[in-house]
């Protein structure tokens, strides 16, 4: 773990809980780093590249979640590299409570206001049009608003949090999803990269991405069918979340509960917006019910 692996041409990656992409830009060994791990991992990643004689000149973020971004707290003061993120994500970097409030659905409880999902960043973060020549970016909607991936000139695709490894799914069951429809569409897009070199953040590098995609999709459909069964009687979002957490026997903390509640809310929006279930108000509660003929999902 935390080793620099050569993929192809000038493209490398550092393996870890969050895989980080590395592209060598020139014969001076100046590199673009794609994501940078947690605050604790920042020094490790910096040291790995420094030992290889590589200098970080660009730091590109797929999104601002701390396992992808907080390494900058060590890396940026060391390198003063050019940091780049999408328009939406630059906003999240600017306000340390914006992303956590976005997930919580209002101003967060103090118990949620940890380092899990945000970072206070006051230095300049540049737009995607500042990427060095040859690096292409692409939208990856679903997991987080404004999340991106990159493609290097060596035809290697870094696809961020578009999916989890089978072992992660078996452990967590519920991965954070902001937009279920977009998440499924992104998985379908990644599937078109079959045969290409694909590096997810939380799964192994592969040229055979289809089995991992199908594992992720099957879990999503499993959760959908659990909700449809539970909603044969009316329930609100909190009750649906409690049901799913209990079904999978998941231990929760404040942060885990917030992420799961946000994700189940997204599932209910997806099902309601798709006209698979109905929503209405009852006793000053927004409730959902699956009282239609069985839909094919």
How many domains is the chain partitioned into structurally?
Answer: 2
Beta bridge partners of 20: 14
**Confidence check: pLDDT of 54 > 90:** yes
Q: How many other CB atoms are there within 10 angstroms of residue 54's CB atom?
A: 20
Our CA dihedral for 78, 132, 71, 13, rounded to 10 degrees, sits at -110
pLDDT computed for residue 114 by the predictor: 64
Q: Looking at the structure, tell me whether residues 122 and 230 fall in a common domain.
A: no
> CA triplet 68, 86, 37: central angle to 5 degrees?
10
pLDDT digits (tens, 9 = 90+) for 248-285: 999 999 989 999 999 999 999 999 999 999 999 999 99
Q: Looking at the structure, tell me whether residues 137 and 279 fall in a common domain.
A: no
Question: Which two structure tokens, joined as six digits, stand for 111?
Answer: 């118990």
Q: Looking at the structure, tell me whether residues 23 and 115 fall in a common domain.
A: yes
Q: Looking at the structure, tell me whether residues 242 and 137 fall in a common domain.
A: no
Q: Which residue has the tokens 């103090």?
A: 110
Q: Looking at the structure, tell me whether residues 131 and 242 fall in a common domain.
A: no
Q: Which residues contact 203 (CB under 8 A, 6 or more apart)?
A: 163, 164, 165, 168, 212
pLDDT computed for residue 212 by the predictor: 97
For the entire predicted model, the pTM comes to: 0.93
Q: Looking at the structure, tell me whether residues 151 and 284 fall in a common domain.
A: no
Of 110, 139, 161, the residue at which a domain comes to its end is 161
- The total number of residues shown for the chain amounts to 297
Task: Please spell the DSSP secondary structure of 50-80, one letter per residue.
Answer: HHTT-EEEEEE-S---HHHHTTHHHHHHHH-
Q: Looking at the structure, tell me whether residues 137 and 229 fall in a common domain.
A: no
Q: Which residues contact 187 (CB under 8 A, 6 or more apart)?
A: 142, 162, 163, 213, 216, 217
Q: How many other CB atoms are there within 10 angstroms of residue 194's CB atom?
A: 13
pLDDT digits (tens, 9 = 90+) for 69-88: 999 999 999 999 999 999 99
pLDDT digits (tens, 9 = 90+) for 180-232: 999 999 999 999 999 999 999 999 999 999 999 999 999 999 999 999 999 99
Q: Looking at the structure, tell me whether residues 243 and 119 fall in a common domain.
A: no
Phi first, then psi: what are they for 58, rounded to 5°? -130, 140
Range of the domain at 34: 4-161
pLDDT computed for residue 187 by the predictor: 98
Strands (DSSP E) contained in 11-146 are 11-14, 20-24, 30-34, 55-60, 82-84, 125-126, 136-139
Of 161, 186, 203, the residue at which a domain comes to its end is 161
193 Rama sector, left if φ>0, alpha if ψ -120 to 50, beta otherwise:
alpha
Of 123, 142, 161, the residue at which a domain comes to its end is 161
The arithmetic mean of pLDDT across residues 141-159, rounded, is 97
From 119-133, 142-156, 179-193, the region with the lowest mean pLDDT: 119-133
Beta bridge partners of 33: 22, 59
CATH of the domain at 123: 3.60.15.10
pLDDT computed for residue 289 by the predictor: 98
DSSP letter, residue 24:
E
pLDDT digits (tens, 9 = 90+) for 82-121: 999 999 999 988 887 788 888 888 988 888 866 656 666 7
Is 93 part of a structural domain of the chain? yes
Is 90 part of a structural domain of the chain? yes
Q: How many helices (H) and strands (E) does the chain have?
A: 10, 13
Cα separation, 108 vs 111, in Å, equals 8
């Amino acid at each position: 773990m935390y080793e620099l692996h050569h993929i192809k041409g000038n493209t490398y990656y550092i393996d870890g809980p969050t895989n980080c992409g590395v592209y060598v830009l020139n014969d001076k060994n100046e590199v673009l780093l794609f994501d940078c791990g947690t605050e604790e991992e920042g020094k490790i990643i910096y040291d790995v590249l420094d030992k290889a004689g590589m200098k970080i000149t660009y730091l590109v973020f797929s999104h601002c979640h701390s396992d992808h971004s907080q390494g900058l707290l060590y890396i940026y003061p060391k390198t003063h590299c050019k940091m780049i993120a999408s328009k939406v994500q630059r906003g999240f970097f600017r306000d340390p409570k914006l992303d956590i409030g976005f997930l919580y659905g209002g101003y967060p409880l103090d118990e949620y206001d940890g380092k899990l999902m945000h970072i206070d960043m006051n230095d300049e973060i540049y737009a995607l049009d500042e990427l060095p020549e040859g690096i292409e970016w692409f939208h990856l909607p679903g997991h987080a608003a404004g999340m991106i991936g990159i493609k290097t000139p060596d035809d290697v695709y870094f696809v961020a949090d578009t999916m989890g490894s089978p072992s992660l799914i078996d452990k967590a069951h519920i991965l954070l999803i902001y937009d279920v429809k977009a998440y499924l569409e992104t998985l379908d897009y990644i599937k078109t990269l079959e045969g290409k070199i694909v590096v997810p953040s939380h799964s192994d590098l592969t040229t055979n991405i289809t089995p991992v995609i199908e594992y992720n999709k099957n879990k999503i459909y499993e959760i959908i069918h659990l909700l449809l069964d539970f909603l044969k009687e009316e329930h609100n979002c909190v009750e649906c979340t409690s049901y799913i957490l209990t079904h999978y026997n998941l231990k929760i903390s404040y942060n885990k509960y917030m992420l799961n509640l946000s994700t189940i809310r997204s599932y209910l929006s997806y099902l309601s917006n798709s006209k698979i279930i109905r929503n209405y108000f009852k006793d000053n509660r927004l409730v959902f019910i699956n009282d239609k003929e069985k839909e094919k999902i």
